Amino acid sequence: MESVFLLCSQMSVSEKKKAMQRKGTITTFGARVFVGSCLASMLFTLVCCHVFGNRRVVAFVCVCVSICSPFRQFDQLLTLCDSLVEADATVYMNFMKSHRCYDAIPTSCKLVIFDTKLQVTTAFFALVANGLRAAPLWDSKLQRFVGMLTITDFINILHCYYKSPLVQMCELESHKIETWRDVYIQCSNHSLISISPEASLFDAIYFLLKYKIHRLPVIDPESGNVLHILTHKRILKFLHIFGKKVPKPAFIRRQIRELGIGTFRNIATVQQTASLYEALSIFVDRRVSALPVVDERGKVVALYSRFDVINLAAQKSYNNLDMTMREVVRRRSCFVEGVIKCYPEESLETIIDRIVKAEVHRLVLVDRADVVRGIISLSDLLQAMVLTPAGIDALLP
């Protein structure tokens, strides 16, 4: 300011008037910038309060805004906002990267292992009796685990040979698992996909989704023993229980239709008047894990999953795959998953709570008339919450 007055003292009267006018213009402009930046700072802070709902985050934002105000470029505020939102979206990704597969193994669990010389029917009876969907296969000759026996194997065999003129269904009962693997399932890739207990849960999710498997054996690399079978459901439950210690990301409060999580086009369903064999064909062709059973109006009346198919072995009713889905659903006597619904306007947080508490593998998205509009699976949730923030889309074909 002293330099300004010194300069003015050496000016003429007209020059002094012009200089004072310019000074007033600059002062007015500076005041406008200051007021504008303050209003922008207040607006930015209010937005952060709404998005993050965390006092510590808001305090940090306020400090950053005060540093940026009033004369720094406003795009610095936008850059700061983008970085905060990005950090907020990676909460679950970082959580999974910081926890090992060993952390998700329960203190007590049931694990069944089959020798490849075991009869197929005995193996599937054992799965039903223990409420399991798969089991590791041990080859006594090779002295190592060679694969998994899953319900998908059972479905593929039924679908392939039910209408075959060369093989009778009753003949399959006497076959051993190794026969199935060597003869009937030779066209499939049955190399064992496993993971170390020291690997991260992030890697486990990636393996499950990339290889489109539902069971991931955790094998000790030193002893070669199977410690546990990791599943989508187990990992999401682990996140639901222990993830409460981390701040919830903003996107978890958004509506499911805004996020676009799930399958909303070309949804695989089966009419209740269709045959069981038609349902098996959809399982094989579409590679889905469950089918909403719908009536003629498209209203969901039941859910038929791959796990339900295994009961055909227990009931020895796999010789009659021509029965209608209405009859199949009616004859189910054991515990079934049931239809757990959700609606497009519900939040992602509500969806996660419901699917974890119900201990199901998917929710059927319906409208208010109970017409099927989509399917939200565990794979969809883990992809959106963990892999998408990492820039990975493991669900691509």
pLDDT, one tens digit per residue, over 172-182 is: 677 888 887 77
pLDDT, one tens digit per residue, over 204-249 is: 999 999 999 999 999 999 999 999 999 999 999 999 999 888 899 9
* pTM attached to this predicted model: 0.76
Phi, psi of 205 (to 5 degrees): -60, -40
> Stretch 66-80: mean pLDDT, rounded?
44
> Stretch 28-47: mean pLDDT, rounded?
46
Q: Which residue has the higher pLDDT, 186 or 71?
A: 186
Q: Which of 169-183, 258-272, 274-288 has the lowest mean pLDDT?
A: 169-183
Tokens representing 365? 């998205």
Cα–Cα distance for residue pair 187/313, rounded to 1 Å: 23
Tokens representing 106? 């329960």
- 3-state SS class at 265: coil
pLDDT of residue 47: 44
**Beta-ladder partners of 255:** 347
User: Is the predicted pLDDT of residue 96 greater than 80, yes or no?
Assistant: yes
Peptide bond into 70 cis (omega under 30): yes
Helices (H), the chain: 2-9, 13-52, 55-68, 75-89, 91-97, 120-130, 151-161, 177-179, 201-210, 232-242, 256-259, 276-286, 306-309, 311-315, 325-331, 348-357, 378-382
Cα–Cα distance for residue pair 397/392, rounded to 1 Å: 13
Q: Which residue has the higher pLDDT, 343 or 9?
A: 343
Cα–Cα distance for residue pair 269/273, rounded to 1 Å: 12
Q: Which residue has the higher pLDDT, 391 or 33?
A: 391
Cα–Cα distance for residue pair 146/174, rounded to 1 Å: 21
